[in-house]
Every structure is written in structure tokens, then in C-alpha cells.
Amino acid sequence: MRHVAERARVSRMTVSRALNKPGTVNEGLRKRVLDAVAELGYVHNQLARNLSSQRSNVIGLVLPSLENSIFAQTLKGISDILRPIGFHLMVAESTDDPEDEEQVVAAFVAQRIAGIILHSTNHTPATVRMLRSSNTPVVENGDFPAEPIDMVVSYSNRAAAKAMTLHLARLGYRKIAFAGLAANPRADQRRLGYLDALRETGLATEPSRVVSVSRGFAGGTEAIACIANRLPDTDALFCAGDVLAAGALFECDRRRWRVPGRLAIASFDDLELMRHVRPAITSLRLARYEIGHRSAQMLLDRMEQASMPVTFVDLGFEIVQRAST
């Protein structure tokens, strides 16, 4: 920048102003500055700017998994907000482990990020303390936390799972099984919602049909195997994950089980895939893109005005009834 200032024969301050608030600089000088910038191929040092102005143009995002495509939509929703205003996105993975998350958050706070989006609701005390004391705007996604750190944009896993289970009951299914990942906080909430619904409809007097499975398509295969062996009278399966449901459907196909004749299948999270398999799978549609979009927007709003008009958003869910139930 010093070179630009010398070349344009103005002070560094004028260069800074010409680039940041063009309106406050005389047109002639501004042109000299911009010419000098172009001739020297000068690129602004955002690091120095951030340090000096005590604010950053980077947002941090912590996802449970980088590989899961459902988070890709959220990522895109965030990016679409940040890009037009020159903000950037730093991404890291927590693997749903609060200790890992703590490390990532510490690193993000050290980077003096302008805000952070946590796609989880389970944090170590140190994580919360760091975020509070550094005064970082925070949005939590993924579920509704019992004690929000700051802002929340999500849907209720428990309510959604309950609604889907009630939907299955309303369709006449009576022996509804539930398959979900073990030791996953969101799957746990969904399991609770499922049990809520059973209780409410009186189906809870039946034996519990809860299955814990592993990740990916294989989990669906396991779920069907389990039903075939241990719970053969099951008439509907609610999978707490999209890929799980697809895996289950493929396994039914292999076993020549009619869906929904032999077994109805419903899933959580409406991946595009759900619409294209045969039969198409009944699913819960969640506003994944919107979660990112609103989260980013709320962080920015908060930065502009210290006030906080909105701190809690329930984006809800929709049940998409298809041929599989």
C-alpha cells in the first residue's frame, strides 16, 4: 500500500479511503489511486485490515461430518449469503465429539472469526465459556438446545420424528419399527419422538422395535436383517436417516419384500434420491438450505446492529407422503 500511495502521490490514508469509502475522496485523487493500484497489481491485505479494524470477514462453520451431503446444502445456503458481501467461510469437522469441537472452536476464536455456526447442540463447558467471553455471535443448528449459547436456527428432531410416526399410525400401520444410528445425539432425539408418538397412540403397549445400526447404506441392510430375524411381524420401518432408508429399500428389493406391502418405509431427511427410487420413499423434508441461509443472515444482522431482534428460529418440517407407505 505504501508503494501505491507513493505512486499516486498521496498519503496511505487516502489510499485506504479511496478503496473503502470512494465517496469521501475527490474524484481526481481517487482515479490516481485506482490507476496506481492497477499498475502495481496491488492486492489488499485483508489480514492487516482485520487486525487493525478489530473485525473480521470470516465466518466459521463446524459440521459433524464433512462427507454427509445433507450438510452440503447448509454449506451452500451459508455461502450464498456470505459471498455477495465479501465474507468468507472456514469449515471444520467435529465428528460429533464435544472435545474435538472444543479444539476447533478454540482455533476459530484464535482466528478472530466474526461469527460461528455450530451444527450441534452438545458442547463442553470450555467451548461455551470461550464463545461467551470472546463475545462471538453464535448460531446453533441441528436441533433445539436445552440451553442455547446464543442464537438458534433449527427444527425439532423430536417433534419431526413424532409427527412422522403419527403419520404412519394414521395410515394404519401398527407395528412400527425405528432404525437409527447409535450414540448420535440427533438420532437419540428422533428415537424419543418416535416413542412419544407410540405412547400417544397407545401403540407403546406393543414390544419396542428400536434398532441401532451403523452408518451408510449398510445400516439399512442391517435394519431389514434385524426385522426379518427378530421382529418379523413389523409392518413399517421408520429410518432416522435418508441413506439408511435407501439401504433398507434396496435390501427389501433383494429379499423380494414388497414395499409397502410387506413393509412400509419412511425416512428422515428428504434427499433427492428418496424421490427417485422405486417406490419413492415417504420422507421428512427439512429446510437444510434455509438453515444455512438464515443462520448466516442472522450472524450478519447481529454484527450490524448490536441489538438482537431474532434469536430463535424454528424452520419446521414437512411430511412428504410417497409410494413407500
Partner DNA sequence: CTTCGCCAAGTTACCGGTAACATGAACCGT
Partner DNA sequence: ACGGTTCATGTTACCGGTAACTTGGCGAAG
**Could you give the count of Cα atoms lying within 13 Å of 49 in the half-sphere of its Cβ?**
13
User: Is the distance from CB of 176 to CB of 165 less than 8 angstroms?
Assistant: yes
Stretch that binds a copy of itself, among 12-20, 68-76, 177-185, 198-206 (CB under 8 A): 68-76
Interface with a copy of itself includes 18 (CB under 8 A)? no
Contact between 93 and a copy of itself by CB under 8 A: the answer reads: yes
Alpha helices in the chain (DSSP H): 2-8, 12-20, 27-40, 46-53, 69-82, 98-110, 125-133, 157-170, 185-201, 217-230, 242-254, 272-276, 288-304
Question: Shortest CA distance to 213 belongs to which of 233, 241, 236?
Answer: 241
Q: 40 and 95 in contact (C-beta within 8 Å)?
A: no
Give me the 14-53 binding string for DNA, x by CB under 7 A, dash otherwise: x-xx-xx---xxx-xx------------x-xx--xx-xxx
Answer yes or no: are the C-beta atoms of 157 and 171 closer than 8 Å: no
Is 300 in contact with 85 (CB distance < 8 Å)? Answer: yes
Contact between 190 and DNA (CB under 7 A)?
no
Q: Identify the residue among 54, 133, 205, 305 touching DNA (CB under 7 A).
A: 54
- The torsion angles phi and psi of 21, rounded to 5 degrees, stand at -130, 75
Nearest distance from C-beta of residue 112 to a copy of itself, angstroms: 5
Stretch that binds a copy of itself, among 75-83, 149-157, 204-212, 258-266 (CB under 8 A): 75-83
Q: Is residue 9 part of the contact set for a copy of itself (CB under 8 A)?
A: no
Residues that bind a copy of itself (CB under 8 A): 41, 43-48, 50-51, 56, 58, 66-69, 72-73, 75-76, 79, 83, 86, 88-93, 106-112, 129-130, 133-134, 216-217, 246-247, 250, 253-254, 272-273, 275-278
Binding stretches for DNA (CB under 7 A) = 1-2, 10-14, 16-17, 19-20, 24-26, 28-29, 42, 44-45, 48-49, 51-54
